Structure formats: structure tokens, C-alpha cells
Structure 1
Amino acid sequence: MTANHGFHATMTARPGKGDELVELLLNAPSLSHDDCVVFLVGRSTADPDTVHVTEGWTSEQAHRAFFATGPAQALVAALQPLLAGESRYTDEVPVGGKATF
């Protein structure tokens, strides 16, 4: 499948909460959703409480529909107390590359 919609988000966890933020994201329900074709979680080496997420979806509609579901709303609710402020989003559509973990 091809990503036609996506973004890059940078989140800052409350001090010392970076591990919890990463754990929640690595267990996000979008990872098992067929329309989510890219979901990468990264971490700043200079500040372990700064976390980056890159997502790619088959369409904006699929992304919107997924985030209207109960599991997605539960994830958003669980993330909120861990965050030190508003997340920053950049429009981005993943087009290719390599990931091995």
C-alpha cells in the first residue's frame, strides 16, 4: 500500500516520562490498522523526553476514521497526562526508505 497522507509529530514528555510516552506509542492501535502503512517512533539523543512520530496512511479519510474510534481516543487520552505541552506537527507523506529494528 502507498501512503497518501501523513505527518511528523514531535512530542515533549513531562520530565522523566519519555519512557512511558515511547511505550504507549510503540503499542498504539494504529500499528495493527491496515490503512496505517508507516508508524515510526524515534527519540532525541540530546533529550530523552523528546519523542518523534512519523505516520503514513493510505488516505486522510482513513486516518480521520481511525482516530474517531474508541481505541484511538483511549490512546490520545492516555498520552495527554504524559505531555509537557502541545505537540508540533509537520505535514509529511512518507515516500520510501528503509527501517529495520
Structure 2
Amino acid sequence: MNVNHGFHATMTARPGKGDEVVELLLAAPSLTHPDCVVFLVGRSAADPDTIHVTEGWTSPEVHSAFFATAPAEALVAALQPLLEGESAYTDEVPVGGKAAF
């Protein structure tokens, strides 16, 4: 499946809330969506409250439609009280690589 839309997000959890943010992200409804081709969660080695997410979707329209669903809105609502400030988003379309966990 081709990735035609994506982004890289960096978010900062409130002090000590990084584990909770990662837990929510690793259970995100995006993971089971067939048009979400890439969904990676990472964190800073120096600051465990800094979390990075890379997503790749088949199209911007599918991504937008997904984020209008109740499960996606519930995830965003659960994340908001755990985060400080605004998340930083960078345009990024994943093109390949390797992930082994």
C-alpha cells in the first residue's frame, strides 16, 4: 500500500506523564486502520517526557476522515491533559526503512 500523506509529531508530556502518553499512543485506533500504513512511537533518550510519532497514510483525505471519528477524538481528548504546550508537526511522508521490536 502506498503512503501519500504523513507527518512527524513531537509532543512533550507533563513531567512524569511520558509513560502514560506512550501507552495511549501504542493503543491508538490508527494502528488497526487499514489506511494507516506507518505508525511509529518513540521517545527521547535524554528526556522520557518527549515523545515522537511518525505516521504514514494512504491519503490526506483518509487521514482527515479518520480523525473525525469518535475513537480518534477520544484518543485526542485523553492525550490533551497529559501534554504540555502544543505539539510540533513536520510534513513527512515515510518512504521505507526497517522496524524491529
How far 1:47 moved relative to its partner? 0.2
Q: Which has the higher strand share?
A: 2
| TM-score, length-scaled by structure 2 | 0.99
- Secondary structure of 1:85's partner? strand
> Which runs of 5 or more structure 2 residues have no equivalent in the other structure?
none
Paired position in structure 2 for 1:41: 41
Paired position in structure 1 for 2:64: 64
> What RMSD in Å do the two structures reach over aligned CA positions?
0.3
- Secondary structure of 1:12's partner? strand
How far 1:93 moved relative to its partner? 0.1
Aligned counterparts, 1:71-86, within 5 A: 71-86=71-86
| Identity of matched residues, % | 83
- Secondary structure of 2:85's partner? coil
> Which runs of 5 or more structure 1 residues have no equivalent in the other structure?
none
How many residues matched? Answer: 101
Say if 2:35 is the partner of 1:25.
no
| TM-score, length-scaled by structure 1 | 0.99
For 1:37 and 1:26, locate their aligned partners in 2 and report how far apart those are by CA, in whole Å.
15
